[in-house]
Chain A
């Protein structure tokens, strides 16, 4: 795999894991208080994150290209029914556990062993659902993990 791709993925992953842990999302109380609408912290983080990302994406769209991944392709898909009820089920789990796939990592990393149970359930639930058929033209960017090297058109000598 392209070294730049790997390094970027790793770098962003580390930063992401660091930030969700440092922002206390691994703490059930932090999430729970927000979902009880008693604390605005979670929403402030969430909204500012989306706002900043959206702003940078506006700039990225203008250049139209990515550093290591070819022409920029942003996800843009229509609402499908299974996503609606999937989201509702996810939300229910989110409310019950005060955790999500990422924050549960933060929880376990900070010693919250309850998060392991949530993660076990997460994997179980995914297996229970089974593979979803991806419709044609799905929203995931279709990036080759290993970009083909550019071949010279004319071979030089023997």
Chain B
């Protein structure tokens, strides 16, 4: 909005910055940085009726706050957020695709006990075998599905 930030932070800023976040949470709080765990504690726990760890809820709130700050300061703002997808699919198809994709993300993250931040960044940084494996599988599956969709839509997506 305010366009004080470039549309894309250079990788050598964003990457090391994220890495420092992971290391900082370990070094300061002895905690594994992970967003899916935060969603579990903040939203799923109340639904299922078990006590979610409070720090995860506060972490999620902070992530949302930071994201909003970047949005206000930055340049990239788009409505819907799925330009290619919404051009290729009618709304009737786009909505279920996004919802189903989200379902897979949630189901998979809970099964895997982590997501691209928990396993991908934090777990890999600490060299945990399950995180390394999970991350490799995350990306392999994502790439495979992306190519499959591309083939199925004849290159439209």
Contacts and interface: CB of A to CB of B under 8 A. Distances in A.
Interface of A: 1, 4-6, 8-24, 26-30, 32, 35-37, 41, 44-57, 60, 66-80, 82-115, 117-132, 139-141, 143, 145
Interface of B: 5, 7-9, 11-12, 14-33, 35-36, 38-40, 43-44, 47-48, 50, 53-55, 58-71, 74, 76-86, 94-95, 97-113, 115-117, 119-131, 133-135, 137-147, 149-150, 157
Nearest to B53: A145
Contacts of B129: 76-79
Contacts, number: 487
Contacts of A41: 8, 11
Of the candidates A37, A96, A122, A125, the one having the most CB atoms from chain B within 10 angstroms of its own CB is A122
A55 to B, nearest CB: 8
Secondary structure type dominating chain B contacts: helix
Majority secondary structure of chain A interface residues (helix, strand, loop or mixed): helix
Nearest to A72: B30
A61 to B, nearest CB: 9
Given A21-B71, A48-B12, A56-B19, A8 B29 contact: yes
User: 6 smallest A-B Cβ distances: which pairs?
Assistant: A121-B102, A112-B81, A91-B141, A86-B111, A13-B62, A125-B106
Nearest to B99: A121
Given A13-B61, A99-B101, A90 B109 contact: yes
B72 to A, nearest CB: 9
